Amino acid sequence: MDRFLYRIFIGSILLFNSIIGQNNSDSANTGFSFEVAADMRNYAEPEYQTAEYFLGVCDAIKKIGKGEFMVSPGDIDPPASVAKTIKNVLGENYFWYPVLGNHEVETEDDMEFLEEYLKKDIPNLTNEGPPNSLKTMYSFEFKNAHFIVLNQYYDGISTNALDGDISEATYNWLSDDLNKNTKPFIFIFGHEPFISMPDYNNGRMRHRGDNLDDHPENSFRFQQLLREHNVTAYFCGHTHNFSFAKINDIWQIDAGHARGKGDTGARSTFLKVFVSENNCKIDVYRSDENWVDYSLVKSIILN
């Protein structure tokens, strides 16, 4: 090989390696997964530490391959038991992001635990909540995604003053946070849905009219804000039923309940969310009839 061709050959290799290296770098800054599980409540307490309850959900997550962290859209009381179960099964470095539900805000011990829990460093925190929200409202980022945790019971003064609403103070804080965001994927978490939807498998309905739709003007304004900022999805709980639907062009993903046979009216559920450079997919796992084994029942592509 003469010197001229050799230089071309070497240059091609360097260019190829540069491209591959850039692609690997891009991949390192995207491509991850996380879990969503809600409404496990007291079925994480010591007397329920069997595979038929929340422990079984954590075991299933570990079996299929855990993501980076878990977010729980409310009704997680007592949170100490939930945090301990997650830590025991999924490890010290698997962070749990709790979201306030109506049962936590009405229980003093729950609020005290969450206040202490959230006093420690929240991984990848980008924005703390407004005054007096005790870190029950915050945003964080991971790779190419922005995450927002809302407290729907905050009225601008107290963390537990409302019955499930998007107050003026919450709306203003959320709007400011969204305006500062530069990430392509945005996930918002709150306990109560825009509206109740029937369970995906058996059509059960719960909390009809007892959600954010109890305050329709505030709920509609909230939905409009999410649409304006191209929010990828809004995750919620409260109904114990898994469902997914586009409402006013916003994906509402109700995570259902993760309490195993603690609620036999609908199958126990957890979600595994995959985020890549250009796409987002949700794998839905639900318990089988034995309340122990979990299988993939649906994959949702968010677009």
Name, in order, each residue with C-beta under 8 angstroms of 300's C-beta and a sequence gap of 6 or more. 244, 253, 281, 282, 284
User: pLDDT confidence of 303, banded at 50, 70, 90?
Assistant: confident
Residue 250 tokens, joined: 């916003």
Query: Contact, 255 vs 242, CB < 8 A?
Result: yes
Q: What is the CATH number of the domain that holds 193?
A: 3.60.21.10
The residue to which tokens 């749990």 are assigned: 96
Query: How many Cβ atoms from other residues are within 10 Å of residue 301's Cβ?
Result: 9
Q: To the nearest whole percent, how much of the chain has pLDDT over 90?
A: 80
Whether pLDDT at 22 is above 50 = no
Residue 196 tokens, joined: 């109740």
Measured CA to CA in angstroms, residue 83 lies from 77, 89, 122, 170 at distances of: 10, 10, 14, 26
11 is a domain residue:
no
15 is a domain residue:
no
Query: Contact, 206 vs 193, CB < 8 A?
Result: no
Q: How many domains does the chain have?
A: 1
**Mean pLDDT to the nearest integer, 210-227:** 95
116 is in which domain, residue-wise?
Answer: 31-302
Range in 25-29, 42-46, 187-191 the model is least confident about: 25-29
- Grouping H, G, I as helix, E, B as strand and the rest as coil, residue 293 is coil
174 is a domain residue:
yes
pLDDT at residue number 6: 37
Whether pLDDT at 97 is above 80 = yes
pLDDT at residue number 132: 86
5 is a domain residue:
no
User: pLDDT confidence of 210, banded at 50, 70, 90?
Assistant: confident
2 is a domain residue:
no
236 is a domain residue:
yes
Rounded to whole angstroms, the Cα distance separating 244 from 233 reads 10
Identity of residue 84: K
Name, in order, each residue with C-beta under 8 angstroms of 295's C-beta and a sequence gap of 6 or more. 285, 286, 288
157 is a domain residue:
yes
pLDDT at residue number 158: 87
Rounded to whole angstroms, the Cα distance separating 276 from 85 reads 29
Query: How many Cβ atoms from other residues are within 10 Å of residue 70's Cβ?
Result: 24
20 is a domain residue:
no
pLDDT digits 0-9 by tens, 131-159: 888 789 999 999 999 999 999 999 999 88
Query: Contact, 104 vs 114, CB < 8 A?
Result: yes
Whether pLDDT at 233 is above 70 = yes
User: pLDDT confidence of 253, banded at 50, 70, 90?
Assistant: very high
Whether pLDDT at 295 is above 80 = yes
Highest mean pLDDT among 101-105, 181-185, 206-210: 181-185
pTM of this structure: 0.90
Measured CA to CA in angstroms, residue 121 lies from 15, 95, 116, 138, 169 at distances of: 42, 11, 11, 12, 24
The residue to which tokens 């949702």 are assigned: 300
User: pLDDT confidence of 28, banded at 50, 70, 90?
Assistant: low
Rounded to whole angstroms, the Cα distance separating 222 from 89 reads 36
Highest mean pLDDT among 1-5, 31-35, 154-158: 31-35
Mean pLDDT rounded to a whole number for the chain: 90
Q: 178-185 long-range CB contacts below 8 Å, 24 or more apart?
A: 178/148, 178/225, 178/229, 178/231, 180/127, 181/146, 181/229, 183/141, 183/144, 183/145, 183/146, 184/144, 184/145, 185/144, 185/145, 185/146, 185/232, 185/275, 185/280
